[in-house]
Structure 1
């Protein structure tokens, strides 16, 4: 088979899947809330039952991360997401306001194109299928080619459970011949109503350029500021737990640490006690050559890899038992690898005089990469938290928790999600942790409560005067009466 043949087969496959999805969605649109919830519950149970198998498949196929941590992510997607959304009204009348004579009706967007990354493949599929079906939509999955088999298997698990619970077969499907051309067809096809994109910058940009409404997520590059009042041992524990979870493949995980001069030595000692290794200047120069590729993108050779694997790749002599590599840094910029997103157990360490300087530095880091995504602060000073909350260009500022699990809503009370909106500053259409409510429209039914005469109010005299003599200017007496009437209403 030639490359051209594969492209054509992929495009035709997408068209066939969309045709089936369209028919299935028309059926789903007639289902009650109870029917939809029964389907979602069945999928949640099935995904949880297969969480270990799917985690191992993802690790074996992609080479990214730690399968035991992927089990946690699969459990999170199957159970935590479902437990949060199961009580949501997503079908029919979802709210009523008798006093204002308005009620709201949920309207599915139709067909969702779910673009899946290789870093969190199985958990992202579980999550996206659950929230799409919960909102009454069909979903067609576009898998990352490097995670094709584990994504196809996850869709199979979900689809079989859904069909057994009464879901139309075409409502959940996956491209089995993924190509750039096929995914382009999926995003641009007239039958696709919304793109839910999680992945690299180029893919998200393509989603927004497709002409189809899209919810996309840009890169994370979250700095973590350890302010002088913080519980330093706990702060370091949170950062180490987060950065080593699945070898740093969650985009909300910390990418740099900012400390104040007054507490730097204590922070460094705590990191060393927790299994971090501070690179010498010479070692840092060697490693930074492997972080980014020549085109400025992240090097996939380090993504989701352990410290030991990174050491073998770079030739660095790293002691056994080391969990995270840290390089001291002062610079920020597109060509400064340590200031960029690193989906691996690698951190930059910046030092500032005080929290105001840390505030400016974190803004600089985020404006170069990661604007709109996530930042973390460890502190007991509520004033500092408020100042950071008012000024940082992020959609989620996490306080005294790890970035990876805090950002997705596992260790915080944010909406449990594996797609994290970055807002307008990050080039995204929303700043939400994406849930079912982002995947349906609202039809508002509103009764009339005022007449034209009510809206004209005191200006009704002007209308009457104009009707009787269109060319006549209002008299001074009439103007005085109107002013007096307005002032009387204001007093």
Structure 2
């Protein structure tokens, strides 16, 4: 049954990838349709399934050991506004493959697209002969609802994808097992041994993918002095723009909202 359910999810995820991408951009105001479409297809087709969870048998002079992975049961999954449909597809496949059902708590800014994705996947599972409501979601997601899930005794595992606030809330408000992915600031290091043309193309392509809202997108560039000028020239050839110090200073108040505790990008320009 797991194989049938996952095959149905893959088919539905790929079939509706573009519609979900368009809905995500429309609802959240972030990212690019083409890039979200690519993410949705990649998760539908590439997320590992039951093939990664085969039992193992070990034998030796001291006897035989059987290793068989058991499901957690009901898993609570918090999903982000940056990859709403893609994360639902990915978590649905991986968690059902392990024998679990899932209750999702989507980011409030991506409520409609997340709930739409869950509905489509559930319909596909039932049409393939699987049970109803393997995937469910809360009606009105917010941090308080998520915290209630974190403490609910019927849930054994938390899978949380989001910003610092929700990851920290998951850590503070539960004693359950937690798999969490928070904000990222990935660096790229380029030295004199690099293929500079390829590096320039890859950095610009990666940093601009989905308007850089993905936590794994390139965000910091560290280059040795001997190749820095040439790399910058090649990046400009890939449509990157080099700002002067004065231009960077003028851009700062647009990109950063200064508060008493931190500098944050205002939502109006994010993504």
Q: Residue 205 of structure 2: which of 230, 241, 252 is its match? A: 241
Q: Residue 268 of structure 2: which of 298, 301, 305 is its match? A: 301
List structure 1 runs of 4+ shifted beyond 6 angstroms.
none
For the Cα contact (< 8 Å) 2:80–2:107, is it kept in 1? yes
Q: Residue 97 of structure 2: which of 134, 152, 167 is its match? A: 134
For the Cα contact (< 8 Å) 2:50–2:98, is it kept in 1? no
d(CA) in 2 for partners of 1:42 and 1:177?
Answer: 27
| Length-normalised TM-score, structure 1 | 0.52
Residues 191, 292 of structure 1: alpha-carbon distance in 2 compared, 3 angstrom cutoff: farther
Q: Partner residue of 1:455?
A: none
1:444-483 Cα offsets, whole Å, 9 max, x none, are xxxxxxxxxxxxxxxxxxxxxxxxxxxxxxxxxxxxxxxx
Q: Confirm whether residue 162 of structure 1 aligns to residue 114 of structure 2.
A: no
Secondary structure, counterpart of 2:226 in structure 1? helix
Secondary structure, counterpart of 1:169 in structure 2? coil
Deviation at 1:220, TM superposition (A): 1.0
For the Cα contact (< 8 Å) 2:49–2:93, is it kept in 1? no
Number of positions where the alignment pairs a residue of Structure 1 with one of Structure 2: 265
1:153-210 Cα offsets, whole Å, 9 max, x none, are 1001101111222332232101121132222111111111111000001100111112
d(CA) in 2 for partners of 1:206 and 1:228?
Answer: 43
| Length-normalised TM-score, structure 2 | 0.93
Q: Partner residue of 1:125?
A: 88
CA RMSD of aligned residues (A): 1.4
d(CA) in 1 for partners of 2:53 and 2:158?
Answer: 22
1:46-81 Cα offsets, whole Å, 9 max, x none, are 111111111110011111111011110000110011
d(CA) in 2 for partners of 1:256 and 1:290?
Answer: 19
Deviation at 1:134, TM superposition (A): 0.6
Q: Which runs of 5+ in 2 are unaligned?
A: none
Q: Which runs of 5+ in 1 are unaligned?
A: 1-34, 305-491
The range that moved more, 274-283 or 291-300, is 291-300
Q: Residue 225 of structure 1: which of 173, 185, 189 is its match? A: 189
Deviation at 1:38, TM superposition (A): 1.0
Q: Partner residue of 1:179?
A: 142
d(CA) in 1 for partners of 2:129 and 2:26?
Answer: 33
1:14-73 Cα offsets, whole Å, 9 max, x none, are xxxxxxxxxxxxxxxxxxxxx111111111111111111111100111111110111100
Secondary structure, counterpart of 1:221 in structure 2? coil
Q: Partner residue of 2:221?
A: 257
Deviation at 1:86, TM superposition (A): 4.3
d(CA) in 1 for partners of 2:75 and 2:266?
Answer: 30
Q: Partner residue of 2:21?
A: 55
Q: Partner residue of 2:44?
A: 78
Q: Partner residue of 1:191?
A: 154
d(CA) in 2 for partners of 1:140 and 1:174?
Answer: 5
1:123-160 Cα offsets, whole Å, 9 max, x none, are 01100111111100010010111111111110011011
d(CA) in 1 for partners of 2:53 and 2:185?
Answer: 34
The range that moved more, 293-302 or 137-146, is 293-302
d(CA) in 2 for partners of 1:60 and 1:153?
Answer: 13
Secondary structure, counterpart of 1:140 in structure 2? strand
